[in-house]
Amino acid sequence: MASIALKSFIGLRQTTSENKSIVLSKPTTQTHRNFRINASKSSPRVTGRNLRVAVVGGGPAGGAAAETLAKGGVETFLFERKLDNCKPCGGAIPLCMVGEFDLPLDIIDRRVTKMKMISPSNVAVDIGRTLKPHEYIGMVRREVLDAYLRDRATTAGATVINGLFLKMDLPKSTGSPYVLHYSDYNTKTGGAGEKKTVEVDAVIGADGANSRVAKNINAGEYEYAIAFQERIKISDDKMKYYEDLAEMYVGDDVSPDFYGWVFPKCDHVAVGTGTVTHKGDIKKLQIATRLRARDKIEGGTIIRVEAHPIPEHPRPRRVLDRVALVGDAAGYVTKCSGEGIYFAAKSGRMCAEAIVEGSENGKRMVDESDLRKYLEKWDKTYWPTYKVLDVLQKVFYRSNPAREAFVEMCADEYVQKMTFDSYLYKKVVPGNPLDDLKLAVNTIGSLVRANALRKEMEKLSV
């Protein structure tokens, strides 16, 4: 997160047999959200019902997608295998998400206004100094956020099915339905659930990093990081320190290619780290992260241990026919910061909007060209952000001297302002040319010093 601001001067500124077959149908009585329809379509009208779309996965991507579809007149089925799921996650969200997704403040545990960036030698820089009084980073518990978004989808008219998606049969001819096979946990048949199928016209795969929908359409693999997190309950006294403060630790000890974090929640802190290159060492890296924060979390009790993959880049295929992937299933987490909640919700909504528009509020069949509109819009809006963070990770997370240089740069108020503006609002902030130049010179200075330091350290270790 801390480095989005630097984009401006890097030159990337751009704009079974016992299966029961059922056909679910539910007349929608909701007020439809009216989307602007730009061109009349030649695709066939659906008759006697509205377009049916299955959203697999009830995280932020799935919840946002299902709400938008239902509001847009589409008959929507949202599948979630675990309705009380606690997705392993730091739960940091940008301010713009609160506004754009109309999130009530009572689902946000903490409003962080002080973010400490801590170097390998434990030099701490407070990078929240330029925040305006109303600005903050939201800290949520995922079990709370995800349930809220799913409930809102239900209110909009979506049918939430507590079920595990197993596989789907692809259409045998143009316009014929997808048949989704799932274990239904709504029924009282014990732990394994009841095997059922449902027919739909289109599918949104929002089932996270281990997406079965992605496998069903041979979407290809992506490189991934493994992230580990412990929720630690600390005393009220110690919690005061983290009231509105979060920490990010960088260094070879906590991660060779990512960062460690302490993020505050309602009555505990989430302490974690991640890595792509040293997955086998993840527990060692976690211990090191805990050690770095030891004074502040001393006496705490670990109340939950969690780990999950984080995608490193989009999958080779994100749309096929009438199936689209969104969120982690598509691979929309930014490098460097590991941020994915906002991008998941946003991609879910964007994909659903494309379906609503393409189907003229659920009245017509959609095809691949409708779903591709979502991809085009997504790539145009966010490709530069992903690219810049990719470059920054390579430059600043490669060695301890480079990380020291990175933290040194974070002390600059201009860097902080650009960083927070970019993070909080997800917009490329136009820089001040003179300040951009000064920043470029300072960055080069920091990197030269980091390089010299690295060479000296290499000599010492010979």
Ligand X SMILES: Cc1cc2nc3c(=O)[nH]c(=O)nc-3n(C[C@H](O)[C@H](O)[C@H](O)COP(=O)(O)OP(=O)(O)OC[C@H]3O[C@@H](n4cnc5c(N)ncnc54)[C@H](O)[C@@H]3O)c2cc1C
Q: Applying CB under 6 A, which residues contact ligand X? A: 56-62, 79-82, 85, 87-92, 164-165, 206-208, 212, 227, 229, 272, 308, 310, 327-329, 333, 338-342, 344
Distance in Å, CB of 58 to ligand X, minimum: 5
Distance in Å, CB of 119 to ligand X, minimum: 21
Distance in Å, CB of 411 to ligand X, minimum: 23
Of 46 and 95, which CB lies nearer to ligand X in the complex structure?
95
Helix (H) or strand (E) holding 184: strand 178-184
Of 149 and 450, which CB lies nearer to ligand X in the complex structure?
149
Of 56 and 439, which CB lies nearer to ligand X in the complex structure?
56
Integer Cα distance of 10 and 440 in angstroms: 8
Would you put residue 391 in left (φ > 0), alpha (ψ -120 to 50) or beta?
Answer: alpha
Of 5 and 56, which CB lies nearer to ligand X in the complex structure?
56
Distance in Å, CB of 341 to ligand X, minimum: 3
DSSP 232-301: EE--HHHHHHTSSEEEEEEETTTEEEEEEEEEE-SSSEEEEEEESTTGGGHHHHHHHHHHHTHHHHTT-E
Distance in Å, CB of 117 to ligand X, minimum: 15
Integer Cα distance of 400 and 368 in angstroms: 47
Of 227 and 336, which CB lies nearer to ligand X in the complex structure?
227
Integer Cα distance of 63 and 67 in angstroms: 6
Distance in Å, CB of 121 to ligand X, minimum: 25
Q: What is the DSSP letter of 107?
A: G
Of 113 and 443, which CB lies nearer to ligand X in the complex structure?
113
Helix (H) or strand (E) holding 328: helix 327-330
**Cα angle, residue 454 at apex, residues 448 and 456 outer, rounded to 5°:** 105
Axis crossing angle, helix 413-425 with helix 433-461, rounded to the nearest 10: 100
Residue nearest to ligand X (CB): 340
